[in-house]
Amino acid sequence: MLACFAVHCIAAQQAGDEPVSDPPNARPVPSRFPATPFPPGEGPLEIARSIRLRSADQMTEADRMLEAGAESSIAERAGFNDIAFNQGKWSYEQLVCPALPNHLFLRFTRNNGANDVSVFSVSIPRNGQGRLRVIPILRRSYSLFSPAPINALTIAAFNHIRTEEQAESAPGWLGTALCYAALAGANPLAAQESMKNGSKVFPAASAPELEIPPQGGAIVRFTDMGAAPHPMVWSLVFNRKGRLLKAAHEPAHLDAERPVPLNTAEQHARPVPAS
């Protein structure tokens, strides 16, 4: 009896070692969650709700040396975009972007007074794995092409930067969106729930949100409370591999109380005289 039992176990074990073929008409089971470049819950909100700015004096010595060594390339690439970097007095500041740590981001400004302000952003890879990129924002107070936040050149440059980043882990979705906004010229401050702007209160819906469509990818939305003269809503659409496909940038609308207009019958009503 024991011998029969042992033989039965060995036969079952050998059968289990053999690959099992799929039955006819088998279909792959779809993944439970759509593919997204920003896994939910991975470090977006705990880093920061804004992009910190550093003056040239506040930058590290290594970053200042990196900027100094790149000035000739900055001037060349700015010239390709019809920006006269060798003319006038320019100043710059660092855009501190924790979501993309392997690049140094700078914003250059030349202010010659009202209606004569030129601005552009610069991306410099820290590890040499990539190329220096210039993102035009304003030339003498005018956009060079379409506005930088929605410009196809800004989107293309940002995608190249993210490809060069070679991060060890997926970046936070809010930090990535804030970095894009900063490179496009904003000083973004993401709204919190029920955040005030002057005498107005933004609804909880204005808080940053990550939407994962059924087909995968990601849509990141946030309200920039630091924009002037009024808050702006950003919406960034990414595909499944994290490539930015579209950016939208429009004024934020508040849910404010409005007087209810009288209907037509009420507007033409007349008092009835007393009998």
Give which of 72, 74, 71, 94 is closest to 83, Cα–Cα.
74
- Do 155 and 78 reside in the same domain of the chain? yes
Complete edge-to-edge strand list for the sheet that includes strand 133-138? 52-55, 91-96, 103-111, 117-125, 133-138
Is residue 117 predicted with pLDDT exceeding 80? yes
- Which pLDDT score, from 0 to 100, does residue 93 have? 97
Beta pairing class for 232-238 and 244-251: antiparallel
- Which pLDDT score, from 0 to 100, does residue 46 have? 44
- Do 203 and 216 reside in the same domain of the chain? yes
- Terminal Cα distance for the chain, rounded: 114
Q: Which residue has the higher pLDDT, 254 or 110?
A: 110
- Note the pTM of the prediction, 2 decimals: 0.77
| Residue 161: domain span | 52-96+102-166
Is residue 7 predicted with pLDDT exceeding 60? no
Q: How many independent structural domains does the chain possess?
A: 2
CB contact set of 172 (below 8 Å; sequence gap of 6+): 38, 42, 43, 44, 45, 47, 99
- Which pLDDT score, from 0 to 100, does residue 197 have? 56
> pLDDT (tens digit, 9 = 90+) per residue, 185-221?
999 998 876 555 555 565 555 789 999 999 999 999 9
Give which of 125, 77, 96 is closest to 183, Cα–Cα.
96
Please check whether residue 233 lies inside any domain of the structure: yes
- Which pLDDT score, from 0 to 100, does residue 68 have? 95
d(C-alpha 14, C-alpha 224), whole Å = 63
d(C-alpha 48, C-alpha 67), whole Å = 25
Find the mean pLDDT for residues 18-46: 60
Q: Which residue has the tokens 């404010």?
A: 256
Find the mean pLDDT for residues 99-127: 92
d(C-alpha 190, C-alpha 175), whole Å = 10
- Do 157 and 219 reside in the same domain of the chain? no
Is residue 84 predicted with pLDDT exceeding 50? yes
- Which pLDDT score, from 0 to 100, does residue 245 have? 98
